[in-house]
Amino acid sequence: MMNKLLFGRFIPGNSVIHRLDPRNKLLLSFYYIGIIFLANNWLTYLVLFLFTILAVRLSNIKMSFFIRGVRPLIWLILFTVLLQVFFTRGGATYWSWGPIVLSQFGIVNGVYIFMRFVLIIFMSTLLTLTTPPLSLADAIEAILKPLRIIHFPVYEVALMLSIALRFVPTLMDETEKIMNAQRARGVDFGEGNIFQQMRAVVPLLIPLFVSSFNRAEDLATAMEARGYQGGEGRSKYRILTWRAADNWAVIAFVLLTGILIWLRA
């Protein structure tokens, strides 16, 4: 399961989405999460799904790859959807038992919540799959640069985020190795009830924390040996460039916003 999670992984490519400015992709991803809440009927969600599928196709990444990557998160999504379905009142009531109610509004809101989750996961995954972690850190640094006026630690925050994104796949792979080693010693992570399964995961945490702290110490030593003192006054090896394709991407999102507002019930 761990090796199917896509967050933090980068797939090299030369597609239109890969070549977009990281600053543009980051801002448009946050903008997309915001305009999702403009959708309030099946037609607006259909437009969002078609737009997202088009973006995935332009990245030259197979849709099946996204579906396999989202699959480990499906239980978290379904849990949130069920809470929405059984604890939302309104419209026709189909079944009730104490505080638990199955209503028309609950079912509709549950479906909408499910689609929002899937759309947000797809777009955020598309961002990380098509943007190298270091370029994403450069984009965050460039966006936060005006905050230096109030002495906000822009360079430190960008470095922290870049390291976190870089080591998410590494920690996943490390977890998978530890799980395989314990399976070889007879540990069954799927045995028993939910509490027993949670207890079986606890032995993973100690070696994972030890490995993480050791890796952090090695990284700090390497940075200190190379004389790292923050980003002030440093030149850039990777120059972020805004191209014509970025303008077209912004126009596409503006048109998407207009369509969603027009189709709102």
Give the per-residue pLDDT at 5: 54
CA dist 21 and 30 (Å) reads 15
pLDDT per residue as tens, the chain (265 positions): 444 555 557 788 889 999 999 999 999 999 999 999 888 888 999 999 999 999 999 998 888 777 776 777 777 788 888 877 777 777 677 777 777 777 777 788 888 888 888 898 888 888 888 888 778 888 888 888 888 888 788 877 877 877 777 777 777 778 778 878 777 877 666 666 666 666 767 777 788 888 888 888 888 888 888 777 766 666 666 778 888 999 999 999 999 999 999 988 6
Q: Taking the CB of residue 220, how many other CB atoms lie within 10 A of it?
A: 11
With CA atoms as reference, report the closest residue to 7 among 123, 117, 114, 138.
Answer: 123
What CA–CA distances, in Å, run from 219 to 109, 177, 214, 222, 232?
46, 21, 9, 5, 20
Give the per-residue pLDDT at 1: 45
What one-letter code names the amino acid at 229? Q
Give the per-residue pLDDT at 191: 64
Give the per-residue pLDDT at 31: 95
Question: Is the entire prediction scored with pTM above 0.85?
Answer: no
Give the per-residue pLDDT at 10: 78
Give the per-residue pLDDT at 195: 66
Angle at which helix 104-130 crosses helix 133-144, to 10 degrees, equals 100
